Amino acid sequence: MTRMEERYNFRETEQKWQTYWNENETFKVENVSDKPKCYVLEMFPYPSGRIHMGHVRNYTLGDVIARFRRAQGFNVLHPMGWDSFGLPAENAAIENKVHPAKWTRENIKTMKAQFQPMGLSIDWSREISTCEPEYYKHEQKMFLDFLKAGLAYRKTSMVNWDPVENTVLANEQVVDGCGWRSGAPVERKELAQWFLKITDYADDLLEALQTLEDWPDRVRTMQTNWIGKSEGARIWFDLIGRDDKLEVYTTRPDTLYGASFCAISINHPLAKELMDGNDDLAAFVAKCNAIGTSEAAIETAEKLGFLTPYKVKHPFIDGVELPVYIANFVLMEYGTGAVFACPAHDQRDMDFARKYGLPIKAVVAPKDADAATFAAELEAGNEAFSGDGIAINSDFLNGLGVTEAKHAAIEKLKALGVGEGTVQFRIRDWGVSRQRYWGCPIPVIHCPSCGAVPVPEQDLPVTLPEDVTFDKPGNPLDHHPTWKHVTCPCCGAKAQRETDTFDTFFESSWYFARFCDADNDTTGFDPKAADYWLPVDQYIGGIEHAVMHLLYARFFTRALNTCGSISVKEPFKGLFTQGMVCHETYKDEDGSWLYPGDVDKQGDKAVLIENGSPVTIGRSEKMSKSKKNTVDPGKIIESYGADAARLFMLSDSPPDRDLEWTESGIDGSWRYIQRLWRLAAQPKFDFLSQADTADGFDGEAEATMKLAHATINAVTDDLAKLRFNTAVAKLRELTNQIADMKGEAKGSAAAYRFGLETLLQLIVPMTPHIAEEIWHAIGNTTPLVDTPWPQAEDKWLINDTVTLVVQVNGKKRGSIDVAADAATADIEAMALALPAVQNQLGDRAPKKVIVVPKRIVNIVG
């Protein structure tokens, strides 16, 4: 063995093993193997320029799983790439006059160099960058396939329009009704946009959530809510004096007998019809629009109604006519943009009815209530009743429960030809057009006579022009002198390219398939490669992607499946959402944010290092540039090493909870790394030359052997369940056990060595560098990274004697050591003989003695 330095030099060691892994292509994988496959993927980063602690946590978690599975004998795919289209690149272009491509590629280079010292087990041969034509040309082909399959279409819809920047903004880019950069009030504008038919898969996307057992319930709930399936009925009310009908959607057809009016959206065609020359209505619409769409505005918004001259016939009751209002609470985007209102059983309708003096009629009463009394109280009050109950005052529905009454009402509507049962979804088709330069061009040509014509496949890719300017607002593709001017592929006439680009969620909707076959130049990936690797076994990322990215990717995979490009439907079998990395916040006397590095903490107080002026310590929040509570991963790795940083990311906090970054925490991890080193470099006794198991094990040696084997099982289980914090705790316990050994028992040296080697084998996924270094230093020649995961031996897991706690009336009074197979009667006798038990019982005889084998004895006195 090599002589070990007294102190561990992490800089040298970490560099050494990283170089070894790179040169040996240790983590490069093939798409064929006789081992079972395991695909571990972390959400790929946006190349913003610098890695942050969130990245470190994310990629450490994934790396531990990847290394663990690799050791367990899986063929592990653990790739990395760059989600490199997006707005920040264009902002940089505008602010710093640098081309988005240059900015992005330089950032990738920087960030890749920052990832390198983390020691991640990544197959870099599969690296991808989504802004390169080699990547995005495939998604242009996919889009053409979607068009053919009827999964993509163009329609005019309302969008958030920034009048200063002349571009569409995503909902997230609208802050308090204003553009996030320009600060100008956002306008609603109708614009022709490309959509993908995610709604075709609404039911499947919802149903399949139940099969995703390895997803957090939270995410499944959020997607369920987002898809928003509701079952109800469409009803066609006869408009009196007109030929047409008013179509409404309701989830409560059982309350039709309580209907008192209908209400339509201000954007409903009937409302628009009335708008011509009607100043009162125009004023009303203006008033509604002025309320705004912010949460607070809606919360306090008054119910506003405008009575139209229209009336509709009640579908069930002859001769009853209902007035039609235009109301601010009815949304054109949901259902049919029209509702019938039953004030007694809907709070919103109740508020509206009270305000405008409309009738209120109770038609459902709780099971146990006296119907007449209940109805009278309900109709006199201001509180609607929306609970379950029995139909009353409802003719043929009377006596039915809500569910049965809904069915009966729908049957009757169908029989009368005035309605039908229907399912309504909240989710809407995915608008993918963006008036942006730094995205994938939408491969379509607009011809005055042929319309929107797909770019012929042989003309792909449609690449972004390099020579663009950002000196005026709007889309540089639109301003480009020549790029958009082309001829129609159909008729040869002068035509224009589509100048919109795809939403950048497009790229992240299939990158996991690209990693399976990253060099494929024909279809983006070979279906066979995707079949082999997909679905991703463990996907890891932030909860912020619970709906958007994760839903788009699930849809996209289904769409590719429909087009025959892929055989799976669900891209991610297991999903793990990690918590945020947080840090205390600091402010100076003027209330400006301060960097932790500028602050000197002394107990509960803090001062500015520069001049000693007082600093206010704020609550711990997600690390963010704006609050300056960030810690640079590069500096941390530089001063503590990657292993210490990785270990800290895994210790203490469960990975799905927020992690509080502290100096003392990273110090603690660093101390552990040093301690681990001393275990081998400065042992209390010579465990290497004396290691001999011929005489068996005794005392501390036996205890170490037992703990080592128990730890193998415990840590294996913890890692499989992603309970890294408890795995670390158990490894520390084993470390303590080994460190406490004195070398005096039979087999001490052998047990010490076995314990240490076990520890290294179990900790190598977390702290790969030091584990590998010690492994070799104590004489192993096969790299630890290629050593199979340890297996616990049964003989060390069995205990001859067990300690039983003895309770009297549920309170602990002592304990007894008994043989594992001791008879119940003997155990009882021993427990009762304990002085502490005698004291408690006094003269009384025990009423009952409960013996739970290998656990507890409870004496009831």
Partner RNA sequence: GCCCCUGUGGCGGAACUGGUAGACGCGGCAGACUCAAAAUCUGUUUUCUUCGGAAGUGGGAGUUCGAGUCUCCCCGGGGGCACCA
Which of 733, 745, 832, 846 is in the footprint of RNA by CB under 7 A? 733
654 forms part of the interface with RNA (CB under 7 A): yes
855 forms part of the interface with RNA (CB under 7 A): yes
Tell which positions 673-712 bind RNA, by CB under 7 A: 674-675
729 forms part of the interface with RNA (CB under 7 A): yes
Tell which positions 234-253 bind RNA, by CB under 7 A: 249-252
Structure tokens at 131: 């802004």
Which of 493, 671, 791, 829 is in the footprint of RNA by CB under 7 A? 671
Which residues, in sequence order, are CB contacts of 825 under 8 Å at separation 6+?
A: none
How far apart CA 305 and CA 536 sit, in angstroms, is 52
Least distance between RNA and beta carbon 393 (Å): 19
Strand pairing category for 605-608 and 37-42: unpaired
Tell which positions 542-581 bind RNA, by CB under 7 A: 543, 547
Q: CB atoms < 10 A from the CB of 650, how many?
A: 21
Q: Which of 860, 758, 681, 725 is nearest to 8 (CA)?
A: 681
How far apart CA 113 and CA 856 sit, in angstroms, is 56
Cα maximum dimension of the chain: 109
Question: Residue 590: exposed, middle, or buried by beta-carbon count in 10 A (0-12, 13-18, 19+)?
Answer: exposed
* Nearest to RNA of 518, 714 (CB atom): 714
Tell which positions 404-443 bind RNA, by CB under 7 A: 424, 426
Q: Which amino acid is located at 96 in the chain? A: N
DSSP code string of 270-314: HHHHHHTT-HHHHHHHHHHHHT-SSHHHHHHPPP-EEEEEEEEE-
Reduce the DSSP state of residue 837 to 3 states and report it: helix
Least distance between RNA and beta carbon 332 (Å): 7
652 forms part of the interface with RNA (CB under 7 A): yes
* Nearest to RNA of 486, 547 (CB atom): 547
CA 153 vs. chain centroid, Å, equals 28
Q: Contact region for RNA (CB under 7 A) — 192-200, 401-409, 585-593, 720-728?
A: 720-728
Tell which positions 622-651 bind RNA, by CB under 7 A: 651
* Nearest to RNA of 157, 726 (CB atom): 726
Q: Contact region for RNA (CB under 7 A) — 292-300, 514-522, 685-693, 826-834?
A: 292-300
Least distance between RNA and beta carbon 85 (Å): 23
Least distance between RNA and beta carbon 736 (Å): 6
Q: Contact region for RNA (CB under 7 A) — 508-516, 626-634, 667-675, 746-754?
A: 667-675
Reduce the DSSP state of residue 470 to 3 states and report it: coil
Least distance between RNA and beta carbon 521 (Å): 39
Least distance between RNA and beta carbon 815 (Å): 6
* Nearest to RNA of 211, 809 (CB atom): 809
| HEC profile of 663-731 | HHHHHHHHHHHHHHHHHHHCCCCCCCCCCCCCCCCCHHHHHHHHHHHHHHHHHHHHHHCCCHHHHHHHH
How far apart CA 846 and CA 827 sit, in angstroms, is 14
Strand pairing category for 605-608 and 614-622: antiparallel
750 forms part of the interface with RNA (CB under 7 A): no
Q: Are 609 and 16 in contact (CB under 8 A)?
A: no
Question: Residue 247: exposed, middle, or buried by beta-carbon count in 10 A (0-12, 13-18, 19+)?
Answer: middle
Which of 203, 411, 667, 695 is in the footprint of RNA by CB under 7 A? 667
Tell which positions 263-282 bind RNA, by CB under 7 A: 265
* Nearest to RNA of 25, 388 (CB atom): 388
Least distance between RNA and beta carbon 734 (Å): 10
Q: Contact region for RNA (CB under 7 A) — 37-45, 499-507, 555-563, 725-733?
A: 725-733
| Burial letters 727-758, b for 16+ CB under 10 A, else e | bbebbbebbebbbebebebbbbbbbbbbbbbb
Least distance between RNA and beta carbon 794 (Å): 17
Tell which positions 10-39 bind RNA, by CB under 7 A: none
- Count residues contacting RNA (CB under 7 A)? 80
Which of 303, 361, 480, 569 is in the footprint of RNA by CB under 7 A? 303
Tell which positions 323-362 bind RNA, by CB under 7 A: 328-337, 339, 346, 348
Tell which positions 791-820 bind RNA, by CB under 7 A: 803, 805, 807, 809-812, 815
Least distance between RNA and beta carbon 336 (Å): 7
Q: Which amino acid is located at 677 in the chain? A: W
668-669-672 Cα angle (round to 5): 90
* Nearest to RNA of 132, 733 (CB atom): 733
Tell which positions 202-231 bind RNA, by CB under 7 A: 217-218, 221-222, 225-226, 228, 230
